[in-house]
A and B are shown apart, each in its own frame.
Chain A
């Protein structure tokens, strides 16, 4: 079974802090994704990566950056956290060159910015 592991289930940070969310997958998948999930808004894509050191903006990249130095690890960075970034963050991965393959999700990180 594919396992996507997010480093924290719950995280509380302060406004202005730099926040790192880590995600690791163990199935040698090429593609990795970061989403945020908010009530009534569903899943919104922040950034994705289709290869090591490659990254593409999703639908809501503002205020975020990402890093993919190794194939198995994809990090989401909040450069200067703000209260409107309080949300559930989901990491996902998928195999192959095509981005329409089923994605496998981690259990999420519930981030609160005070």
Chain B
């Protein structure tokens, strides 16, 4: 079936650093979404992207819909301690899946540098 590869799997941040993560798919997507999950809670939508090349910001977060339609990137600028959590990408393609259902990446876990 379709797969989303999300990287990195985990990373450590120091306050003030910029953070980048990305997702790649095995097929063309028409929707890319980015979610954040805090411990003990459900994922919360951060950014939704619907057009190739689209660049959208939400505060210190910026996400891009890749021009090839097979990838997406999330950047966090000037990270702060409350940025820790698990970030998920999700996408939907024209082909395959369950009638266009969202497919989720396995997540990028952000932790604070010891």
Contacts and interface: CB of A to CB of B under 8 A. Distances in A.
Interface residues of B, number: 24
B36 to A, nearest CB: 11
B33 A102 contact: yes
Interface string A86-101: 0000101000001110
B106 A41 contact: yes
Contact of B42 (A41, A56, A105): A105
Contacts of B42: 4, 90, 92, 105-108
B24 interface: no
Question: Which residue of A58, A98, A99 has the most chain B CB atoms within 10 A of its CB atom?
Answer: A99
B59 interface: no
B44 A105 contact: yes
A45 B45 contact: no
B105 interface: yes
A57 B89 CA distance: 22
A90 B98 CA distance: 18
Contacts of A92: 42
A92 B90 CA distance: 14
B100 A48 contact: no
A100 B43 contact: no
5 contacts: A4-B42, A42-B105, A42-B107, A56-B99, A108-B41
Interface of B: 1, 30-31, 33, 35, 40-45, 48, 88, 90, 92, 98-102, 104-107
